[in-house]
C-alpha cells in the first residue's frame, strides 16, 4: 500500500502564513502539516509516500519521499494533481488532501476498508463548522446517501431536507482494482470529454469530488468509509487556531 498526498495548492486564504511557503508547510506544534501526515502514515506502516507539489515546490524537501509536480497547478485543481502521480496508482493507495490534520485512528479506519473505492465521510460534520466564519458550512464537500446507505451525490453545499448527508473528509482509499478502475475512467475522459465536468468548468479544473461523482454516475461502486476520530482541514488562519485546540487537547 502507498499514499499520495496532494500538496500543489498555494493556500492564498492562509496569508500571511503562505507568503513564502506552500500551504502544506504551515506549522502546527512545530511540525508542518505535511510532516504530520507523513508521521501518521509511517506509524501505520505505510512508507511508500508520494507528494504532488506545485506552488513553491522547492520548499518541500522531505527525505525518502516520491515527488511529482503539477506544473500547471495555478490553472488546474486536485484531480489533475492526482493524475500527475498516476504511476503510483498501480496498487492499493490512500489519497489525502495535503491541508488535513488527522490522528492515526482515522487512517487506521481507512486502511481497514476492504472495498475497491472508498471515500472517508464524517456524519457529524456540522460540529466542524462552529466558529469557522472564514470557511462557512456552505463550502463543505457534502455526501448524500439513499435510504440503503449508498452514495448518491457528492458536491458542495447539498441542501436536501430529510436526507442523510455527511462531509467528504478529503481521503480516498483504492484497492489495486479500484486504482485500475479510476485510471481507466480518467484516460477515457481525457480522450472524449469536452466542456464542463460536473461542478467544474472543465476536466482540468475538476476537484476530486467531481471525479468521484463521475464514477457514481458511471454506476461504479463508491462506498463510504464512516470515520470517527480527530481530524480537521486547515484552510484559513482561523482553522489553524481551531486545529491547535483540537490537537492540543
Q: Residues for the chain: how many in total?
A: 249
Long-range contacts of 236-239 (CB under 8 A, 24+ apart): 236/13, 236/14, 236/132, 236/134, 236/135, 237/14, 237/17, 237/134, 238/131, 238/132, 238/133, 238/134, 238/135, 239/132, 239/134, 239/135
189, three cell numbers:
475522459
CA distance 44 to 36: 13
| pLDDT band for position 23 (cuts 50, 70, 90) | very high
Helix 208-217 × helix 176-192 angle, to 10°: 90
Residue with cell 496508482: 89
CA distance 168 to 155: 9
Q: For residue 248, what pLDDT is reported?
A: 86
29, three cell numbers:
506544534
Averaged pLDDT score across all residues of the chain: 96
- Residue 142: beta bridge partners? 155, 167
What 3-state class would DSSP assign to 171?
strand
Angle 120-233-242 from CA coordinates, rounded to 5°: 130
Q: pLDDT at residue 140 above 90?
A: yes
Mean pLDDT of 3-19: 91
228, three cell numbers:
470517527
Contact present, 8 and 55 (Cβ < 8 Å): yes
What 3-state class would DSSP assign to 173?
strand
**Residue range 86-125, pLDDT digits in tens:** 999 999 999 999 999 999 999 999 999 999 999 999 999 9
Residue 234 φ/ψ, nearest 5 degrees: -115, 100
Handedness of CA 110, 115, 119, 124 (dihedral sign): negative
Helix, strand, coil % over all residues of the chain, rounded to 5: 35, 25, 40
* DSSP designation for 106: H
CATH of domain 2-247: 3.90.550.10
66, three cell numbers:
516520491
Domains of the chain by residue range? 2-247
Q: pLDDT at residue 249 above 80?
A: no
**Residue range 63-93, pLDDT digits in tens:** 999 999 999 999 999 999 999 999 999 999 9
Closest CA to 144 of 131, 162, 129: 162
Amino acid at each position: 500500500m502507498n499514499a499520495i498526498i496532494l500538496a500543489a495548492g498555494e493556500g492564498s486564504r492562509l496569508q500571511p502564513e503562505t507568503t513564502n511557503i506552500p500551504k502544506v508547510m504551515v506549522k502546527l506544534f512545530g511540525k508542518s502539516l505535511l510532516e504530520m501526515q507523513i508521521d501518521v502514515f509511517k506509524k501505520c506502516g505505510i512508507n511508500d509516500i508520494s507528494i504532488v507539489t506545485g506552488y513553491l515546490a522547492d520548499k518541500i524537501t522531505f527525505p525518502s519521499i516520491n515527488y511529482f509536480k503539477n506544473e500547471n497547478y495555478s490553472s488546474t485543481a486536485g484531480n489533475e494533481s492526482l493524475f500527475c502521480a498516476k504511476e503510483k496508482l498501480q496498487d492499493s493507495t490512500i489519497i489525502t488532501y495535503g491541508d488535513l490534520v488527522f490522528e492515526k485512528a482515522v487512517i487506521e479506519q481507512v486502511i481497514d476498508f476492504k472495498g475497491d473505492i472508498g471515500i472517508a465521510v464524517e456524519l457529524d460534520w456540522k460540529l466542524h463548522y462552529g466558529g469557522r466564519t472564514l470557511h462557512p458550512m456552505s463550502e463543505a464537500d457534502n455526501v448524500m446517501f439513499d435510504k440503503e446507505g449508498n452514495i448518491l451525490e457528492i458536491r458542495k453545499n447539498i441542501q436536501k431536507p430529510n436526507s442523510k448527508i455527511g462531509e467528504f473528509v478529503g481521503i480516498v482509499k483504492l484497492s489495486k482494482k479500484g486504482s485500475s478502475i479510476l485510471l481507466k475512467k480518467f484516460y477515457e475522459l481525457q480522450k472524449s470529454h469536452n466542456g464542463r465536468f460536473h461542478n467544474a468548468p472543465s476536466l482540468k479544473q475538476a476537484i476530486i469530488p467531481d471525479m468521484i461523482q463521475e464514477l457514481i454516475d458511471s454506476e461504479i461502486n463508491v462506498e463510504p468509509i464512516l470515520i470517527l476520530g480527530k481530524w480537521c482541514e486547515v484552510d484559513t488562519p482561523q482553522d489553524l487556531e481551531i486545529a491547535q485546540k483540537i490537537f492540543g487537547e
